[in-house]
């Protein structure tokens, strides 16, 4: 666990799905037509970033630490080091399409050596389906596959609607990275391979059942996609060919620490058969995991249990071996009606994934019947693996480590039904800022202090833009949460402080979306000093810098039309991961923590968030 702490201190970014300030609109036009005209990501003014960095530190470090950091920042600004690095960054911005994207991909994902399962790959819990047998499971999976192939057609023909924010087109590049792609482990750094753009793009998906992988061709010889009925028949064949439950769970290797998996991977693909099987998984358009039913839990625990299943599969006894965690998109369909997905985060953020989900769910609701051509389809190919004693040992080690991760992850999904985003809008408040203040209040009530908080925001207004961070903890948010705990404060004053904190958050969000936040700029300056092989500037070696990047609250809003919720693990050993989907009349909120930390508890924090939201609602209504 300590490695996570070190990682958070070393890199100023966290790897979470992101949100946008306002609802994104879509316009039907070529989704690549605006790409060339998109503006480049700006390099913010150095003085502005330094001032905003000090302001962000004020509520989370002591006065002594802040005074010390102020001296270091002044030295950085006036001593020539900052100016030299800033000019280098501006030079890089002129020469590249995006000065940040390669560094971000490297530092946030490919250099990260923690397992992708739990630590970086988000899961999505879809509404519970009302099937309880394999026929229902197959039928649902067949419709889902057909829906994703319809989505793929828009990608292939470049007819995906362009998204707009504040009448400005957004970069659509991430949509072209999520299908036919896979992360490839390396001994020290991973890579991402995208097989979609070649002379012979993949025409198959992989299906895994009872730990056994199959290649399922999803196109007819004339290039038309298989119909739902054809896919269903092929899935039946796969099911009937994989009834044995004693097979080695080769996929569990992908859940390991990246260095460990990198070595095991090189050992695995020494064998020609194994190499071909691995390549077939990597090149597939996406993966479908047909999961065995999980142990039954009460209705109150159901969503939390499914969220955990999406993140890690439930352990080696259950479905953790029924995955290839390096695969960008894995749709999970359980025999017991649980369904969702897990995605490898390197190629894309949350919004493209959620757009895909919304599109596929809409497709699946259509009842039109497409007549299947009466063409006999060949048996889907089962992928073979030769398991040597060494590979067997690697699998056993991966099982043990996965079971420890499963035991350590504490997940609570809060389906908050008292009100939704409409309430904040009625009071002319940003729903996202309202939720963020509730998280601040909940944390302060539990720990009597404010903490470093990260909320992901999108940089897709810019070419190849990924994310930057919104720093939720501000002097204004601190004033608000302290006032809420002070019985001497009048309700009118508390409301005024809430409104101010919400406005500050809204301003910070606007700055982040427009490329004027601090975290990626600081990362760029730091990366440049590493590349220049000069001594590391002291502001990056400072205690305040470590505190600022130790995110006890790592948060993200991922809005969806579908009544689903995204979830991800905490960024630090003593922190929480919080993802929420604000619906009109309710909020879906997924909270994670680690059981190995005595101070954190997902259920207690969930209760604190519920109480905070209700108290803030009362504050709005009592003050009318």
261/175 Cα distance (integer angstroms): 28
- Contact between 314 and 306 under an 8 Å Cβ cutoff? The reply is no
304/135 Cα distance (integer angstroms): 26
324/329 Cα distance (integer angstroms): 10
- Contact between 179 and 286 under an 8 Å Cβ cutoff? The reply is yes
Active site residues: 345
Q: Which of 326, 314, 350 is nearest to 256 (CA)?
A: 326
Burial class (CB in 10 A: 0-12, 13-18, 19+), 388: middle
Other beta carbons within 10 angstroms of residue 63's beta carbon come to 8
162/171 Cα distance (integer angstroms): 8
Other beta carbons within 10 angstroms of residue 485's beta carbon come to 11
Q: Which of 25, 37, 33, 28 is nearest to 166 (CA)?
A: 25
Please list, in sequence order, all residues whose beta carbon lies within 8 angstroms of the beta carbon of residue 180, skipping any fewer than 6 positions away: 194, 195, 196, 201, 202, 283, 284, 285, 286
Beta bridge partners of 371: none
Supply the DSSP string of 577-600, one letter for each residue: EEEEEE-SS-EEEEEEEETT-TT-
Other beta carbons within 10 angstroms of residue 579's beta carbon come to 28
310/117 Cα distance (integer angstroms): 10
Q: Quick one: DSSP state of residue 253?
A: G
């Amino acid at each position: 666990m300590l490695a996570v702490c070190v990682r958070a201190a070393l890199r100023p970014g966290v790897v979470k799905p992101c949100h946008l300030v306002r609802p994104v609109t879509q316009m039907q036009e070529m989704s690549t037509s605006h790409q060339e005209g998109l503006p480049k990501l700006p390099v913010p003014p150095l003085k502005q970033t330094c001032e905003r960095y000090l302001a962000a530190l004020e509520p989370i470090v002591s006065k002594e630490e802040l005074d010390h950091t102020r001296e270091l920042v002044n030295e950085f600004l006036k001593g020539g080091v900052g100016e030299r690095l800033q000019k280098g960054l501006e030079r890089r911005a002129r020469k590249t399409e995006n000065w940040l994207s390669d560094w971000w991909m490297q530092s946030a994902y490919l250099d990260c050596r923690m397992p992708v399962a739990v630590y970086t790959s988000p899961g999505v819990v879809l509404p519970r389906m009302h099937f309880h047998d394999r026929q229902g499971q197959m039928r649902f999976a067949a419709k889902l596959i057909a829906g994703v192939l319809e989505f793929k057609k828009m990608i292939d023909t470049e007819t995906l609607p362009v998204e707009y924010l504040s009448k400005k087109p957004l970069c659509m590049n991430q949509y072209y990275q999520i299908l036919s792609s896979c992360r490839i482990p390396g001994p020290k750094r991973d890579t991402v391979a995208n097989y979609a753009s070649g002379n012979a793009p993949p025409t198959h998906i992989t299906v895994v059942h009872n730990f056994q992988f199959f290649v399922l061709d999803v196109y007819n010889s004339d290039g038309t996609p298989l119909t739902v009925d054809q896919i269903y028949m092929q899935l039946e064949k796969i099911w009937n060919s994989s009834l044995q439950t004693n097979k080695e769970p080769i996929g569990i290797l992908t859940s390991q620490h990246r260095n460990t998996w990198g070595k095991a991977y090189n050992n695995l693909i020494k064998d020609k058969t194994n190499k071909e099987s691995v390549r077939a998984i990597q090149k597939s358009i996406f993966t479908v995991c047909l999961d065995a039913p999980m142990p039954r839990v009460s209705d109150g625990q159901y969503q939390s249990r499914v969220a955990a299943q999406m993140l890690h599969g439930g352990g080696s006894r259950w479905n953790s071996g029924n995955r290839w965690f390096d695969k960008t998109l894995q749709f999970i369909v359980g025999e017991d009606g649980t369904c969702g997905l897990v995605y490898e985060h390197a190629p894309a953020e949350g919004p493209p994934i959620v757009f895909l989900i919304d599109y596929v769910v809409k497709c699946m609701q259509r009842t039109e019947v497409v007549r299947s051509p009466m063409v006999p389809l060949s048996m889907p190919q089962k992928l073979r693996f030769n398991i040597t004693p060494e590979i067997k040992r690697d699998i056993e080690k991966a099982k043990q480590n996965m079971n420890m991760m499963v035991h350590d992850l504490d997940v609570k999904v809060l389906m908050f039904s008292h009100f939704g985003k409409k309430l904040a809008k009625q009071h002319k408040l940003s729903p996202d800022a309202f939720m963020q203040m509730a998280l601040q209040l909940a944390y302060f009530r539990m720990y009597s202090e404010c903490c470093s908080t990260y909320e992901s925001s999108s940089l897709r207004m810019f070419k190849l833009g990924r994310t930057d961070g919104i720093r939720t903890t501000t002097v204004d948010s601190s004033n608000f949460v302290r006032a809420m705990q002070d019985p001497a404060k009048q309700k009118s004053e508390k409301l005024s402080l809430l409104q101010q904190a919400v406005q500050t958050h809204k301003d910070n969000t606007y700055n982040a979306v427009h490329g004027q936040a601090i975290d990626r700029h600081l990362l760029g300056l730091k990366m440049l000093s590493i590349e220049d092989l000069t001594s590391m500037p002291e502001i990056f070696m400072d205690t305040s810098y470590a505190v600022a990047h130790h995110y006890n609250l790592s948060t993200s809003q991922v809005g969806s039309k579908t009544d689903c919720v995204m979830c991800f693990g905490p960024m630090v050993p003593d922190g929480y991961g919080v993802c929420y989907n604000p619906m009109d009349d309710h909020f879906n909120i997924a909270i994670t923590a680690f059981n190995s930390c005595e101070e954190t508890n997902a259920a207690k924090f969930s209760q604190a968030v519920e109480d905070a939201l209700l108290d803030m609602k009362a504050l709005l209504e009592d003050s009318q």
